[in-house]
Structure 1
Amino acid sequence: MPHIVVDYSDTLSAAFDRRDFGLALNPLVAGLLEASIDTCKTRFRRIEEACIADGSPDHAMVHIELAILSGRTPEAKRDLSRAVLDLARNHVPVPADTTLTLTVDVTELDSECYSKQVLTSQS
Structure 2
Amino acid sequence: MPNITVDFSAAMDADFDKAAFAEALHVSVVEIAAAKPEACKTLFRRAGITAYGYEDPVEQRHAVVHVTIGLLAGRTDETKVKLTEAVLELLREHVPGGEGVVLHASAEVRDLDPSYRKLEWE
Question: 2:28 is matched with which residue?
Answer: 28
Deviation string for 1:60-85 (max 9, x for gaps)?
11100111111111111111111111
1:84 aligns with 2:87: yes
Question: Is contact 2:2-2:69 (8 Å) kept?
Answer: yes
Deviation string for 1:13-66 (max 9, x for gaps)?
111111111111111112111121100000101110121133242111110011
1:60 aligns with 2:63: yes
Unaligned runs of 5+ in 2: none
1:117 aligns with 2:119: yes
Question: Normalising by the residue count of structure 1, what TM-score does the alignment of the two structures yield?
Answer: 0.89
Question: Is contact 2:50-2:64 (8 Å) kept?
Answer: no
Question: Is contact 2:63-2:102 (8 Å) kept?
Answer: yes
Question: 1:45 is matched with which residue?
Answer: 45
Unaligned runs of 5+ in 1: none
Counterpart CA distance in 2 for 1:104 and 1:16 is 16
Question: Is contact 2:6-2:65 (8 Å) kept?
Answer: yes
Counterpart CA distance in 2 for 1:95 and 1:40 is 29
Structure 1 vs Structure 2 CA RMSD: 1.3
Counterpart CA distance in 2 for 1:60 and 1:53 is 12
Pick one of 89, 100, 105 that aligns with 1:102: 105
1:11 aligns with 2:11: yes
Counterpart secondary structure, 1:94: coil
